[in-house]
Each structure stands twice: as structure tokens, then as C-alpha cells.
Structure 1
């Protein structure tokens, strides 16, 4: 699967001392996360964050005391702490959508043997809250829980974008348009022309892009009582396997699961 988007969010930085400490701490966490299973040494963190060793040791000591980072071996690399896993699990199940979607994804995966995902809108990204990988090989923009996909890329983000309020959608598109064109060869006009169609037909297909040109999928939104998207169920598979009949079967099954989740959320 291709790399996921681990870039930091485009948020303004404040200059007060307290917020500067927070900014640096978040930068450290992002740097550790980017190093993955190998962890991040002090040398690597210094290079990635441009912070001095003294500052790094001070902040890492504080974050370690709260469980946000781990140091399994003395003088070894740092890893993300288990407290983040605990917080992430609580954040990921806001409203219960993740808990309800998990068995739905499993049923879909067992039926079709393809990979299925739960996405939610997270700022300028679609965040993968849950996934089940099927036996059929494929590639996806989200290779793990917690992966963020730039909004506008892939069918999951399109299902979410299409059902956002017009102003919110416009803001996201304005922000993401340069990267979408530069990195994925997805134009703003191509995106805007799909939203009405997605709302009318009730599902989204990912736009052709230069990163995964041989893969496709479909996604259906999970809508609350006000028709706002609380999530989207998505699947990924090679384009050669997506026949019109297979797409129809996928959409029908996924829509049934999405409607069931929406009903249970509103109960």
C-alpha cells in the first residue's frame, strides 16, 4: 500500500511561551509517529524538529511521565506511548460510529473478500477509523487505522465531501486544491462536477489519480437525521475487478450497512 499522509495540519502557530511548548511537543509526537516501528532517536528527532537536545530531553521527559512517549531501552529510540492509544480509542468512537461500523466492515469483508474502511471527516483530511483487509490483494490510500487521506482523494473522502455544507466543502477545496493537482493530478473542476452526482446516486467512486491509477472502489455515506455525514463506508479493489454488476452488489450491501448504522446512531 502507498504511504499515508502524515504531514502536520495547516494551523496557525501562536507565539506565547505556553503554546510554543505545545507546538514543540506536537512536532515531536509527529516526528516519532513518522518513524514508525523503528522509533525515533534523539539524533533523528533533532534533525526532524530542529530542536536542541536539551529542549528535546526536557519535553520528552515530561511526555514520558504522562504516557505519551515510551523509551523501552535506555539510550534507545523513542516510541509513541500507550496513553495515546487509549485517548485515540475514545476519540475514535465519538458517538459510537466506530463500534457500530466494526461488525459491519467485518461482514462486508467476509462476503466480498475485499478490503473495507470507515472514514470520518477530520479537518482537511478523511481519517481512517477502522479497516478490515480482505483476502483479495489491493492497494489503498489508507494502510492502517489512523491514516489520513487528503480530502478529494479516494472514494471515502468524496462520499464525505459531497454531503458537507457548501461553505465547509468550499473551504476544504480551496485549501487542498494545489496539493490535489500537484500530487494526484486531480483538478478542482473534476471534483466539483462530482458532488451533485454522488448525492443523487448515493455513493461515490474515486476519481482517477496518478498515485493509484489501477485501483478503484466505492463508498457510501453514513448520514445522521439532518443528512450530515458522520462517516463513510469505503472499499478498495483493482479496477479490473470492478464490473458494473459487482459495483451494484457492493453498493447495495454497503448502503444496507450504512443505513443500519445511521438508524442505530439515532436510536
Structure 2
């Protein structure tokens, strides 16, 4: 079939060619797991197979697309994802969220934590200390705890994609036994509670005299990029004050979610495997 004049313009430099190339890239991204054939790509982007083939060859020459030798299907390359990851400044999430932490700390008079997922753990990326002495599971900035322990990490775990959440649960349940009160039934019950109410705020009683509440920072797909968490004295987080604290946390989290680059290295979601997880610091008790 003869290509139209509009399609032929893709061979010339300009906006049209660039738009077509990105249309093919987006179509490849939607079928990244299996890869795509030229016929399917042509149908998806509304171009002829010849046009799509020329675009693919150009993208392969730039190293952002690769072709499987056996299936002959095309997919985005590792170099493409490496380039996309570089677009996310490693400190961008912390920089972006810092004003929210300061506002919450000033409004509530409490210590505020920013947590993100790292393999099977949650890591404290930033915090803003309030006037009351508290103990937390992650301790200071850089501290980590198994996902499922503490309100912040529970909020992150509850809003992971289902398959990833299941893998984390299977791996972490034995680690949670170190605390003496966790089992799989308990953890799954808490996860469902958090998903239903949109926040984690039930006092586990694991740190005497301490209480906390956390909300997830969600991307457009409803998956957790991180969590905003309040750590305080149990006497300061009664049923009368809890709704107000949750509302302020949710307001900040909802404003942050759309602004966070999903390629930021601080919020990459894929599980990195058991080898990396076993190399992390062992699960420890609450920071003093």
C-alpha cells in the first residue's frame, strides 16, 4: 500500500517525524512485557507498516529500541529506561516533599516522616522533628524497616501493585515474626483495613507510649510512591484528633503525587529480588 503524503513527511526532519517516533515509543511501552510486532504497532499508531518499520530502525540505531532475535518482536531497551531514570534527580523527591513536611510539622506540632520503598523495606528519606521526644522504627534519615512494620511502611505496602505486594508479604512474614505479634493473617487484615480507609492509623502497641498515622503518596495508577507519616505520643493521637491529622496528611499527599517523577530513583517500584533484600541491614527494633 502506498504511503500518504502526510506519512512520507516522517522521513524529513521536523515535528511530525518526532511525534510519530514518540507514538511508536508509547505503543511499545504499553506492550513492553511481550514486545510488539510491526503489524500491531502500525495498527496502534495509525501508520503504514513501512513507516513504522523505518521508525523502528531509526530508534534501534539510537539504542532505545531492541528486537528479540527469536520472536522478532520489538521492545524498549535497557538504555531507554536508563535514560528515563536519569531524568529523575535522585534528590528530587526529597526536595519536592520538604515544604510539605515543614508545613505539616508546623501545623500539627509533630514529627513528620517521608518514607519510600526500597526492595522489601521502607526507608526514611526525610523527616522534620517536632517538639516531643519520640521513638520510631526507622529512626533517623536513612533508617529502614521491613515493609509492614509501622504505619508508614504499612501504607506503602498496602498500595503496591497486587503481584508485587504478594511477593513482599511472602518474603517479609518470617521477618515480622521477630516482633512476636505479627503473622500473615494479621498482616493481611491490616493491609485490607488500610486499603479500605486510605490511611494506616491503628496503634500496634509495638513501641510503648508511641502512636502514628500515615497516608500513601499515590501515582495516577493508585500505587504508592511513598508515604507521609506522623510519629507522636499516644496521648496526642486520640480518636478526637485523628480525623484532622489524617485530613491534613491526605491533602499534602494528594498534592505531591502528580508532581513526583515516577522514574526518580527514590521511588522505583520493582522488587529487586531476594539477593539484594538479604544483603540489606537485618530487621532491628525501634530506634531509641
TM over 0.5: yes
Question: For 2:160, which of 135, 159, 164 is the aligned residue?
Answer: 164
Q: Equivalents in 2 of 1:189, 1:108: separation in Å?
A: 33
Partner of 1:219: 214
Partner of 1:147: 143
Partner of 2:252: 257
Compare CA radii of gyration and give the structure with the larger one. 2
User: How is 1:10-159 mapped onto 2 (pairs within 5 angstroms)?
Assistant: 94=90, 96-159=92-155
Q: Is the 8 A contact 1:185 1:209 kept in 2?
A: no
Following superposition, the deviation at residue 91 of structure 1 comes to 11
Q: Equivalents in 2 of 1:92, 1:246: separation in Å?
A: 37
SS in 1 for 2:232: strand
**CA distance 1:202–1:227, shift in 2 (3 Å):** same
How many residue pairs are counted as aligned between the two chains?
176
Q: Equivalents in 1 of 2:260, 2:178: separation in Å?
A: 38
User: How is 1:220-259 mapped onto 2 (pairs within 5 angstroms)?
Assistant: 220-259=215-254
User: How is 1:201-220 mapped onto 2 (pairs within 5 angstroms)?
Assistant: 201-205=197-201, 208-210=204-206, 212-220=207-215
- Deviations along 1:69-111, whole A, 9 cap, x unmatched? xxxxxxxxxxxxxxxxxxxxx9995483221111101111111
Following superposition, the deviation at residue 213 of structure 1 comes to 3.3
Q: Equivalents in 2 of 1:104, 1:91: separation in Å?
A: 23
Q: Is the 8 A contact 1:156 1:233 kept in 2?
A: yes
SS in 2 for 1:182: helix
Following TM superposition, where does structure 1 have runs of at least 4 consecutive aligned residues deviating by more than 3 angstroms? 90-95
**CA distance 1:151–1:253, shift in 2 (3 Å):** same
SS in 2 for 1:121: strand
**TM-score normalised by length of structure 2:** 0.57
Provide the aligned C-alpha RMSD in A. 2.2
Unaligned runs of 5+ in 1: 1-89
Unaligned runs of 5+ in 2: 1-85, 262-288
- Deviations along 1:39-86, whole A, 9 cap, x unmatched? xxxxxxxxxxxxxxxxxxxxxxxxxxxxxxxxxxxxxxxxxxxxxxxx
Q: Equivalents in 2 of 1:117, 1:92: separation in Å?
A: 21
Q: Is the 8 A contact 1:153 1:207 kept in 2?
A: no
Following superposition, the deviation at residue 181 of structure 1 comes to 1.5
Q: Is the 8 A contact 1:159 1:204 kept in 2?
A: yes
**TM-score normalised by length of structure 1:** 0.61
